[in-house]
Homo-oligomer: A and B are copies of this chain.
Amino acid sequence: MKDNIKVARTLNQIQIAVIDLINTKGLSKITVRDITSAAKINRGTFYLHFKDKFDLIDQYEANILEKLTETFKKYTPLLPRSESEIEQLSLEALTYLNSERRLLRALLSENGDPVFTNKIKHMLQYVLRETLIKQKELMVKKSAIPAKYAQEMALDSIVGLVIFWILEDEPDSVKEVAQIITRTRFMAPVDLLGLAINSKR
């Protein structure tokens, strides 16, 4: 049996310290010493749980990505076939993200781990690819631009939107954002921006 209570307390102190340190001095400048002294634990103890600073961040991120993947799996085989299905899935994913807002804000901020965004993108890409294979019949129309670009942009815009929401100081509600995500799937950038651009050449 592990002394789970002891471990849990230590890991807790570490996470609180790390979030605080990311926000104050930035992840890249944090040392293991910083973490352990802020968490008021022995430096050796840190190495009992983590290989190094990057391993620590990896564990946090992997945990979040895993939970998020499960949410998506619940909706497989997607893609969703209707607006309301898109909205429902968005709602569930956003609700989970919101529950981890403190950690996510730190990791996704300028002071955080700039690689995390890429990991999120790759996870989503993997999930989408899995389901797209089973859903080829959905692809009925030919797009005006190569699929690779379309996929990349769809992914970037949605990931960008969610991260933007996470980083807001007074974020809109989960429900509002789920609706916004749904709407944006059906609107062009020019229309989203409300611009009047002459589409004649």
Q: Which residues of A contact B (CB under 8 A)?
A: 79-84, 86-87, 110, 114-115, 117-118, 138-161, 164-165, 172, 180, 183-201
Closest chain B residue, CB of each to CB of A128? B193
Are A143 and B188 in contact, with the CB atoms below 8 A? no
A190 to B81, CA, bound (A): 11
Oligomer: number of copies: 2
Closest chain B residue, CB of each to CB of A115? B114
Please name 9 pairs of A and B residues whose Cβ atoms are closer than 8 Å in the assembled complex, sorted by A.
Answer: A82-B199, A147-B193, A149-B184, A150-B193, A153-B158, A154-B157, A154-B192, A184-B189, A186-B190
Are A145 and B197 in contact, with the CB atoms below 8 A? no
Are B83 and A194 in contact, with the CB atoms below 8 A? no
Chain B residue contacts of A114, Cβ below 8 A: 114-115, 117-118
Are A79 and B195 in contact, with the CB atoms below 8 A? yes
Are A196 and B157 in contact, with the CB atoms below 8 A? no
Are A143 and B79 in contact, with the CB atoms below 8 A? no
Chain B residue contacts of A201, Cβ below 8 A: 82-84, 87
Are B153 and A195 in contact, with the CB atoms below 8 A? no
A27 to B194, CA, bound (A): 40
Are A184 and B80 in contact, with the CB atoms below 8 A? no
Q: Knowing that A140-B194, A188-B191 are A-B contacts, what are 18 other residue pairs whose CB atoms are under 8 Å apart, sorted by A's residue number?
A: A110-B118, A114-B118, A138-B196, A143-B191, A143-B193, A144-B187, A146-B172, A147-B193, A149-B164, A149-B165, A149-B180, A152-B164, A153-B158, A154-B189, A157-B157, A157-B160, A185-B190, A186-B189
